[in-house]
Amino acid sequence: MSKTRAQQKKNKKRATPLPTETAIKRLGAMVDLIERELRTAIQLETSLETANDIVKAELHGHPFYGAECYDTVKLATQLYMAIVLAKMFEDPRPRPGESPAKKANRSDVASIPLMLRLLGQKRCIKRLVSAAGSWMPFRSSADQSNARVAKQSAEAAILRYRELRRSLEGDRALTKLSAFRNEWLAHLLLTQSEKNIPKYDHLFLLVDAARDIVGHAKLAIKGNNLDLRDWETERSRISKAFWNPALLAARDWERSEVDH
């Protein structure tokens, strides 16, 4: 193959950059969709974590009425949580001979990796920094603080994801989540491995990372100061209000049956 033909073939595989306006619109749509999924993940996390804490503190080692049903609900919550997280952290694979950039540009997926790929592009940062002057109520007289916050927030989102990927537990959590999705959630494979089932700690770690990433990204992209920690605390309170009387009532029912 001649050098010219080889170069032409190489150029065909290259991704044509999205128009900047399209990239910015895609960022706005992505961050809203991911936030929606994140809120669902947080609700699932607080429900599962609260119930586990109550069982460990009040029912550990003691059989209780309806325990099998509780285990089923717990498993369903774990699986749903894994599904939500798998969507949020999905990084679509390119076709053979296709570059990751080309795959990302033609993908209809809204996920953290794809959102951060756009957020890290200089042209997108430049547009977002320019738009930061219209933020309310953060707008300053010179608009310089808004521009600085937009840039720093974008960098913080990218850094948080990079730290997650580079940490031992973060990489392990993402690897297990991807394998779990492929082996257990999306397909019924003959080669399923139980070692690829994410532990609760892995799922909770990914939810916390997603909460931080999306919070920073939302501020950079839309100027919304999204901090879901207070909302997460409220979901924990609501979960406890349900699980505490429900599980203790199940324990007391079991005891009353034994006494009779």
- pLDDT tens figures, 140-194: 554 568 888 999 999 999 999 999 999 999 999 999 999 888 888 777 777 877 7
Q: What is the rounded CA–CA span in Å between residue 178 and residue 194?
A: 13
Task: Examine residue 67 and state whether it is found in any structural domain, yes or no.
Answer: yes
Structure tokens at 127: 């547009």
Task: Examine residue 132 and state whether it is found in any structural domain, yes or no.
Answer: yes
Among candidates 164, 163, 174, which has minimal Cα distance to 202?
174
pLDDT band at residue 245 under the 50/70/90 scheme: very high
Domain count, the chain: 1
DSSP H/E element including 98: none
Cis peptide before 245 (omega within 30 of 0): no
Q: What is the rounded CA–CA span in Å between residue 232 and residue 49?
A: 12
Q: What is the pLDDT of residue 102?
A: 81
Q: What pTM, to 2 d.p., does this model score?
A: 0.85
Q: Note the pLDDT tens digit of each residue in 95-109.
A: 787 787 787 778 888
**Mean pLDDT, range 67-92, rounded to an integer:** 91
Q: Note the pLDDT tens digit of each residue in 21-61.
A: 999 999 999 999 999 999 999 999 999 999 989 888 877 76
In degrees and rounded to multiples of 5, residue 91 shows phi and psi of -125, 90
Q: What is the pLDDT of residue 195?
A: 79
Question: Alpha-carbon torsion 93, 97, 99, 105, what sign?
Answer: negative
Q: What is the pLDDT of residue 214?
A: 97
Task: Examine residue 9 and state whether it is found in any structural domain, yes or no.
Answer: no
Q: What is the pLDDT of residue 142?
A: 47
First to last CA, the chain: 88
Task: Examine residue 18 and state whether it is found in any structural domain, yes or no.
Answer: no
Q: Give the range among 16-25, 131-140, 201-210, 247-256 with minimum mean pLDDT.
A: 131-140
In degrees and rounded to multiples of 5, residue 46 shows phi and psi of -65, -35
Task: Examine residue 214 and state whether it is found in any structural domain, yes or no.
Answer: yes
Q: What is the pLDDT of residue 68?
A: 87
Task: Examine residue 155 and state whether it is found in any structural domain, yes or no.
Answer: yes
Q: What is the pLDDT of residue 253?
A: 67
Choice between 171 and 258, residue whose per-residue pLDDT is larger: 171
Question: What percent of the chain stands above pLDDT 90?
Answer: 52
Task: Examine residue 102 and state whether it is found in any structural domain, yes or no.
Answer: yes
Structural domain containing residue 64? 27-168+206-259
Q: What is the pLDDT of residue 255?
A: 58
Task: Examine residue 227 and state whether it is found in any structural domain, yes or no.
Answer: yes
pLDDT band at residue 14 under the 50/70/90 scheme: low
